Amino acid sequence: MSKKEQPINVLIIDDKQDYCDALAGSARAERILIKSATNLEDGIEILKNNRKIEFVILDGKCFANADKELTGATSNNIPHRAKSLIDQINVEQNREINYCVNTGFVDDLQESFEDIFIVFDKDKKSSEDLYSYIKHEVGNSPSGKLKRKYLECFEVFDEGIIDDQKEHLLMDVLECLEKSDFRKKNFSSLRDLLEALFIGLINEGCIPNDFLTSRGNPNQEWCTIFLEERDTKLPDNSIHRIAYSVPKHIRSIVRKLKESLNENLHLGENEIMKYEYLSNTYIMLELLNWIPQFVRTNYR
């Protein structure tokens, strides 16, 4: 199992695309993956739809939107507007997106950013200070610490087995575990994570595509039977059986998760289910830890 540190996903909002590209190139050596937008409106849209992004680099002067970009009119107050919008996303999506300002107008803008932003001078030849700050802020955030603690369980997202936009589901599960929040409503992230795993195995060619419903959701019972190394008979009378061996304890884990996560839906949202939550969470982590090697060995 790989112990390599997870990359940090960053968004830069800067009106100079060539600068963004150059920064993205040098940042890769620091395991920082940078996406870019040349105006605030597009950048915020990217941020809303990409839950992997953990940090935003803001230009001191930038375009507010695509229309302003066409006219070439930049605004000085972009970081302040961005801060308000990012803080709003953090609340609405339960995220921890940090940010800083990186500008070539430090002398002109420093006063307006004082006590609000950490400011870096983009005209300096080296960006090492900027990279160090990003790694420190993300690595020492609650979510960063949580990822380091359960690093192996995120490998299914790093390898693309589960869509990385579903990584927040695992984060939700782990946060509840760490906070001892065992309310029944928190089981929804576990259920959605199991469904995302089934879809990932379908995309990998492990589970047949025929196991998807007309709505694009996996038939969980068929997927479970299949991973139990049993014949799975579909309504069209076709019979499917997995081609590779699945350890007995993994077969039991899949069945336990499928049954347990669906049988208590009638209970109240705030009903405490401490031991059910603990048992399902830990076997989910064991399953996520096992899946990457199974996929690499048999389907790649």
**Sign of torsion, CA 203 207 212 217?**
negative
Stretch (H or E) spanning 120? strand 119-121
Q: Are strands 8-13 and 55-58 parallel, antiparallel or unpaired?
A: parallel
List the helix and strand counts (H, then E) for the chain: 13, 7
For residue 6, the model assigns a pLDDT of: 80
Model-level pTM? Answer: 0.80
The Cα 174–Cα 10 span in angstroms is: 22
For residue 125, the model assigns a pLDDT of: 58
For residue 110, the model assigns a pLDDT of: 65
For residue 2, the model assigns a pLDDT of: 44
For residue 108, the model assigns a pLDDT of: 67
What are the domain boundaries of the chain? 8-145, 150-299
Q: What is the pLDDT along the chain (300 residues), one digit of tens a residue?
A: 344 678 899 999 999 999 999 999 999 999 999 999 999 999 999 999 999 899 999 998 899 999 998 998 888 889 999 999 999 999 999 899 999 999 887 766 666 777 788 999 887 757 899 999 999 999 999 888 998 899 999 999 989 999 988 999 999 999 999 999 999 899 999 999 999 999 999 999 999 999 999 899 999 999 999 999 999 999 999 999 999 999 999 999 999 999 999 887 777 888 899 999 999 999 999 999 999 999 999 999
- Please give the backbone phi and psi of residue 61, each rounded to the nearest 5 degrees, phi first: -125, 130
Contact yes or no for 169/192 (Cβ under 8 A): yes
* Sequence-separated (6 or more) residues with CB below 8 Å from residue 123: 104
Scored b (16 or more CB within 10 A) or e, 1-28 reads eeeeebebbbbbbbbbeebbeebbeebe
Query: Smallest Cα–Cα separation from 134: which of 65, 56, 22?
Result: 56
Q: Just give the CATH number of 8-145.
A: 3.40.50.2300
Mapping DSSP to helix (H, G, I), strand (E, B) and coil, where does residue 172 land? helix
Query: Smallest Cα–Cα separation from 19: which of 64, 48, 57?
Result: 57
**Structural tokens at position 130:** 């900027």
What is the rounded (10 degree) CA torsion for 291, 187, 144, 117? 140
- DSSP class of residue 220 equals H
